[in-house]
Amino acid sequence: MSNDSKSYLDLASQTYGVIVEAAANANHRLLEHLKSTYEIASRPYTSTAFEATYRENLDRAGQLVELNVAAAQKSGAEAAALAEKLAKSAALWQESYVETTRGLFRTALSNLAYVKDAADQTYEGFAKRVEEIQTRATAGVSSN
Protein backbone atom coordinates (compact mmCIF):
# COMPACT_ATOMS: atom_id res chain seq x y z
CA MET A 1 0.00 0.00 0.00
CA SER A 2 1.39 3.41 -0.90
CA ASN A 3 2.10 6.06 1.72
CA ASP A 4 -0.56 8.33 0.21
CA SER A 5 -3.22 5.62 0.46
CA LYS A 6 -2.13 4.83 4.00
CA SER A 7 -2.26 8.53 4.82
CA TYR A 8 -5.77 8.86 3.41
CA LEU A 9 -6.90 5.79 5.34
CA ASP A 10 -5.41 7.19 8.54
CA LEU A 11 -7.09 10.56 7.95
CA ALA A 12 -10.44 8.93 7.22
CA SER A 13 -10.13 6.75 10.30
CA GLN A 14 -9.24 9.73 12.51
CA THR A 15 -12.08 11.85 11.13
CA TYR A 16 -14.55 9.00 11.55
CA GLY A 17 -13.33 8.49 15.12
CA VAL A 18 -13.89 12.17 15.92
CA ILE A 19 -17.43 12.04 14.54
CA VAL A 20 -18.30 8.79 16.33
CA GLU A 21 -16.88 10.10 19.60
CA ALA A 22 -18.90 13.32 19.25
CA ALA A 23 -22.10 11.35 18.56
CA ALA A 24 -21.47 9.06 21.53
CA ASN A 25 -20.82 12.05 23.82
CA ALA A 26 -23.99 13.76 22.61
CA ASN A 27 -26.05 10.61 23.25
CA HIS A 28 -24.50 10.24 26.70
CA ARG A 29 -25.26 13.87 27.54
CA LEU A 30 -28.85 13.48 26.34
CA LEU A 31 -29.40 10.33 28.41
CA GLU A 32 -27.89 11.97 31.50
CA HIS A 33 -30.09 15.02 30.94
CA LEU A 34 -33.21 12.89 30.55
CA LYS A 35 -32.30 10.90 33.68
CA SER A 36 -31.79 14.07 35.73
CA THR A 37 -35.03 15.56 34.39
CA TYR A 38 -36.91 12.39 35.30
CA GLU A 39 -35.37 12.35 38.79
CA ILE A 40 -36.50 15.93 39.39
CA ALA A 41 -39.99 15.47 37.96
CA SER A 42 -40.72 12.07 39.52
CA ARG A 43 -39.61 12.92 43.04
CA PRO A 44 -42.50 12.39 45.48
CA TYR A 45 -44.07 15.44 47.06
CA THR A 46 -43.27 15.95 50.74
CA SER A 47 -46.67 17.40 51.57
CA THR A 48 -50.20 17.41 50.22
CA ALA A 49 -50.84 21.00 51.26
CA PHE A 50 -51.51 23.35 48.35
CA GLU A 51 -48.96 25.95 49.41
CA ALA A 52 -46.18 23.38 49.96
CA THR A 53 -46.95 21.73 46.60
CA TYR A 54 -46.88 25.15 44.90
CA ARG A 55 -43.47 25.98 46.44
CA GLU A 56 -42.10 22.56 45.59
CA ASN A 57 -43.26 22.93 41.96
CA LEU A 58 -41.49 26.29 41.74
CA ASP A 59 -38.38 24.71 43.24
CA ARG A 60 -38.54 21.86 40.69
CA ALA A 61 -39.04 24.33 37.85
CA GLY A 62 -35.96 26.22 39.03
CA GLN A 63 -33.97 23.00 39.14
CA LEU A 64 -35.11 22.12 35.61
CA VAL A 65 -34.10 25.56 34.35
CA GLU A 66 -30.66 25.20 35.99
CA LEU A 67 -30.34 21.71 34.51
CA ASN A 68 -31.22 22.98 31.01
CA VAL A 69 -28.83 25.92 31.27
CA ALA A 70 -26.01 23.63 32.39
CA ALA A 71 -26.81 21.19 29.58
CA ALA A 72 -26.83 24.01 27.02
CA GLN A 73 -23.46 25.29 28.29
CA LYS A 74 -21.95 21.82 28.17
CA SER A 75 -23.37 21.20 24.69
CA GLY A 76 -21.94 24.52 23.50
CA ALA A 77 -18.51 23.67 24.91
CA GLU A 78 -18.64 20.21 23.32
CA ALA A 79 -19.72 21.73 19.98
CA ALA A 80 -16.82 24.18 20.13
CA ALA A 81 -14.37 21.36 20.89
CA LEU A 82 -15.82 19.31 18.03
CA ALA A 83 -15.54 22.26 15.65
CA GLU A 84 -11.89 22.68 16.64
CA LYS A 85 -11.16 18.97 16.07
CA LEU A 86 -12.95 19.03 12.71
CA ALA A 87 -11.05 22.16 11.68
CA LYS A 88 -7.75 20.42 12.50
CA SER A 89 -8.90 17.37 10.57
CA ALA A 90 -9.91 19.53 7.61
CA ALA A 91 -6.48 21.17 7.68
CA LEU A 92 -4.84 17.74 7.56
CA TRP A 93 -7.10 16.73 4.66
CA GLN A 94 -6.22 19.94 2.82
CA GLU A 95 -2.50 19.45 3.43
CA SER A 96 -2.72 15.88 2.15
CA TYR A 97 -4.68 17.05 -0.90
CA VAL A 98 -2.08 19.71 -1.68
CA GLU A 99 0.76 17.19 -1.37
CA THR A 100 -1.08 14.73 -3.61
CA THR A 101 -1.78 17.42 -6.21
CA ARG A 102 1.85 18.53 -6.07
CA GLY A 103 2.96 14.93 -6.66
CA LEU A 104 0.56 14.54 -9.58
CA PHE A 105 1.91 17.70 -11.22
CA ARG A 106 5.50 16.53 -10.70
CA THR A 107 4.63 13.22 -12.33
CA ALA A 108 2.86 14.94 -15.21
CA LEU A 109 5.83 17.26 -15.80
CA SER A 110 8.22 14.32 -15.66
CA ASN A 111 6.07 12.45 -18.18
CA LEU A 112 5.98 15.49 -20.46
CA ALA A 113 9.76 15.83 -20.24
CA TYR A 114 10.13 12.15 -21.15
CA VAL A 115 7.79 12.54 -24.13
CA LYS A 116 9.68 15.67 -25.25
CA ASP A 117 13.04 13.87 -24.99
CA ALA A 118 11.68 10.87 -26.90
CA ALA A 119 10.26 13.19 -29.59
CA ASP A 120 13.60 15.04 -29.82
CA GLN A 121 15.47 11.75 -30.27
CA THR A 122 12.98 10.59 -32.88
CA TYR A 123 13.28 13.92 -34.72
CA GLU A 124 17.08 13.82 -34.62
CA GLY A 125 17.06 10.25 -35.94
CA PHE A 126 14.61 11.23 -38.68
CA ALA A 127 16.74 14.28 -39.60
CA LYS A 128 19.89 12.09 -39.86
CA ARG A 129 18.08 9.63 -42.12
CA VAL A 130 16.85 12.45 -44.36
CA GLU A 131 20.40 13.82 -44.56
CA GLU A 132 21.73 10.35 -45.44
CA ILE A 133 19.08 9.96 -48.12
CA GLN A 134 19.91 13.42 -49.51
CA THR A 135 23.61 12.62 -49.43
CA ARG A 136 23.05 9.36 -51.31
CA ALA A 137 20.74 11.06 -53.73
CA THR A 138 23.23 13.83 -54.46
CA ALA A 139 26.08 11.29 -54.69
CA GLY A 140 24.03 9.22 -57.11
CA VAL A 141 23.15 12.24 -59.26
CA SER A 142 26.73 13.54 -59.34
CA SER A 143 28.13 10.11 -60.33
CA ASN A 144 25.81 10.03 -63.37
Residue 22: CB partners within 8 Å, gap ≥ 6?
78, 82, 85
pLDDT at 8: 85
Cα distances (Å, whole numbers) of residue 46 to 14, 31, 51, 60, 96: 52, 27, 12, 13, 63
Q: What is the mean pLDDT of residues 29-52?
A: 92
Average pLDDT over the chain reads 90
CA 26-88-83 angle, to 5 degrees, is 35
Domains of the chain, residue spans: 3-108
CA 117-120-122 angle, to 5 degrees, is 110
Instruction: Find, among 58, 17, 64, 18, the residue nearest to 40 by Cα.
Output: 64
pLDDT tens, position by position, 64-115: 999 999 999 999 999 999 999 999 999 999 998 998 899 999 999 999 999 9
Long-range pairs for 27-30 at CB < 8 Å and ≥24 separation?
Answer: 29/71, 29/74, 29/75, 29/78
**Residue scoring higher pLDDT (139 or 144):** 139
Alpha helices in the chain (DSSP H): 3-41, 50-143
CA–CA dist 66, 45 (Å, integer): 20
